[in-house]
Amino acid sequence: MTRDQLTAAANTLQSAAGEATDEETRDRLQTQSAQFAALADAERGPDHGKLARHEHVLTEIADDTGGEVEAAIEDALESIRAYRETVEGV
């Protein structure tokens, strides 16, 4: 089952990676993108804890960047938060 918000986050993060000028930032964003793509197609969706850890990492990356990369990360975070609202639990 595909989770559209997570797919959107993965695509946005991949685009952000393409805009990143720093190799480490690009690598981190590509890793996050790949992880969200996998989560989007996994049999079971991620729980609040896993999503919170990803949000923390992405917020950290956004704080270290600026401009279009930061804006793209914020867009991805919006998609992640939209999905997270559908997750039962905490």
Determine contact, residues 70/78, Cβ cutoff 8 Å. Answer: no
For the stretch 16-49, pLDDT in tens is 999 999 999 999 999 999 999 999 999 998 999 9
Verdict on whether the full-model pTM lies above 0.95? no
Q: Are 27 and 7 in contact (CB under 8 A)?
A: no
Does the pLDDT value for residue 65 go beyond 60? Answer: yes
At 26 the pLDDT is 97
The full set of domain ranges for the chain reads 4-84
Ordered alpha helix ranges (H), the chain = 4-19, 23-41, 48-64, 67-84
Residue 90 has pLDDT above 90, yes or no: no
Question: 88 pLDDT band (50/70/90 cuts)?
Answer: confident
Report the percentage of the chain scoring pLDDT > 90: 92
